[in-house]
């Protein structure tokens, strides 16, 4: 009996020890399926721009961090349910999301683009190189009109719950046939198989896929930014509050903002961005 008591006590103590040692640690959620932002290597380890950046930011904050994996479509609910404390998953800062969570300052920004398979009749659309939806103006209007005409009746594939889906749902390019997928990998697969006439995502997501798979995926139309596409990618954090946990979340936001400032000044973000994107996507 005594043995069991000691054993029970030992388990209890080790349990409390784990809790207390976790008190200062930060759990960061990422998708692990959106290269080059975040992905996994062959043996299942999380890699990519945001995984390395997260480790650098934690070093600056002198915090112990663990990075955990979470499916994209459950990312924000999981944050709200406290499965982790921060999101670093290529998540753009949008007004829609800011109703539910808060964001640090942006650390990187990257344009979105349509992609098709080589030989598609959508190739060679007459549009400007890039449009910023926040600026508006006649150029943007004209480009959206061209896109509306070209995409009429086409099936455009996107990952679910992304800025890209929001844009297609917004009606800016008419009523296209939107098909949503759980991951960007599945979007790429169906673009290559021909089930999708076009796909919309971060431009690097397509160029990365084309590089790795050797498939003839080409970018078409303008690159998109602003408006539904948000204002860069930041760290998603729960909105702060007056209670102890809310205060901790508010402090976490401050710490991340400071750490991003420092990392930017030291050129860490630029360096990592060039390493993973091939160009300086930092902001």
Partner 1 sequence: MISSFPKLLGATVITLKLLSLSLFFGLLIGLLFAILRMNKNTIINKFAYGYSYVFRGTPLLVQIFIIYFGLGQIEYLRSTFLWVILKEPYWCAIIAFALNTGAYTSEILRSAFETIKPGLIEAGKSLGIPNKVIFYKIQIPIAIKQSLPAYGNEIILMLKGTSLASTVTLMDLTGVAKYIISTTFKPIEVFIVAGGIYLFMTYCVHNLIKFLEKKYGFQT
**Residues near partner 1 (CB under 8 A):** 73-74, 76-77, 80, 96, 100, 157, 160-161, 165, 179-182, 186, 189-190, 193-195
Cβ within 8 Å of residue 266, ≥6 positions away: none
| Residue 108 near residue 283, CB atoms below 8 Å | yes
First-to-last CA distance in the chain? Answer: 62
Contact 270, 47 (CB under 8 A): no
Which residue, 75 or 273, has its beta carbon nearer to partner 1? 75
Q: How far is the CB of 103 from partner 1 (least distance, A)?
A: 14
Measured in whole angstroms, the distance separating CA 33 from the mean position of its chain's CA atoms is 10
User: Least Å distance between CB 215 and partner 1?
Assistant: 11
Beta carbon of residue 155, minimum distance to partner 1 (angstroms, whole number): 10
In this structure, the chain runs to a length of 283
Q: Is 225 helix (H, G, I), strand (E, B) or coil?
A: strand
**254 vs 264: CA distance, rounded Å:** 15
Nearer CB in complex with partner 1: 187/218:
187
Nearest CB to partner 1, comparing residues 53 and 157: 157
For the bound state, the minimum distance from the C-beta of residue 128 to partner 1, rounded and expressed in Å, comes to 30
Angle at 32 between CA 208 and CA 209, to 5 degrees: 15
User: Least distance from C-beta 58 to partner 1, angstroms?
Assistant: 26
User: Cβ closer to partner 1: 57 or 158?
Assistant: 158
Q: Please say which residue, 66 or 170, places its beta carbon nearer to partner 1.
A: 170
User: Which is closer to partner 1, CB of 239 or CB of 270?
Assistant: 239
- Please, what is the minimum distance in Å from the beta carbon of residue 50 to partner 1? 21
**Sign (positive or negative) of CA dihedral 162, 166, 169, 171:** negative
Alpha carbon distances (Å) from 16 to 22, 151, 268: 10, 58, 37
Dist. CA 154–CA 198, nearest whole Å = 8
């Amino acid at each position: 009996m005594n043995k069991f008591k000691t054993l029970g006590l030992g388990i209890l103590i080790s349990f409390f020890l784990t809790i207390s040692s976790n008190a200062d640690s930060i759990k960061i959620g990422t998708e692990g399926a959106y290269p080059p932002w975040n992905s996994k290597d062959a043996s299942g380890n999380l890699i990519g721009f945001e995984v390395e950046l997260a480790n650098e930011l934690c070093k600056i904050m002198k915090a112990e961090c663990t990075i955990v994996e979470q499916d994209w479509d459950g990312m924000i609910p999981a944050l709200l349910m406290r499965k982790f404390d921060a999101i670093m998953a290529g998540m753009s800062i949008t007004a829609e999301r800011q109703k539910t969570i808060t964001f640090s300052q942006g650390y990187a920004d990257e344009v979105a683009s349509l992609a098709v398979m080589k030989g598609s009749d959508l190739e060679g659309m007459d549009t400007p190189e890039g449009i910023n939806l926040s600026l508006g103006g006649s150029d943007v209007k004209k480009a959206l009109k061209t896109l509306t005409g070209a995409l009429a009746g086409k099936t455009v594939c996107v990952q679910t719950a992304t800025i890209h889906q929001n844009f297609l749902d917004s009606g800016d390019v008419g009523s296209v046939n939107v098909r949503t997928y759980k991951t960007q990998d599945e979007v790429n697969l169906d673009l290559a198989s021909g089930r999708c006439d076009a796909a919309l995502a971060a431009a690097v997501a397509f160029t990365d896929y084309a590089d790795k798979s050797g498939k003839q995926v080409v970018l078409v139309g303008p690159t998109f930014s602003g408006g539904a596409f948000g204002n860069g990618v930041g760290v998603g954090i729960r909105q702060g509050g007056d209670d102890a946990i809310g205060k901790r979340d508010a402090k976490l936001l401050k710490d991340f903002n400071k750490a991003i400032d420092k990392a930017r000044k030291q050129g860490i973000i630029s360096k990592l961005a060039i390493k993973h994107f091939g160009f300086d996507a930092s902001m």
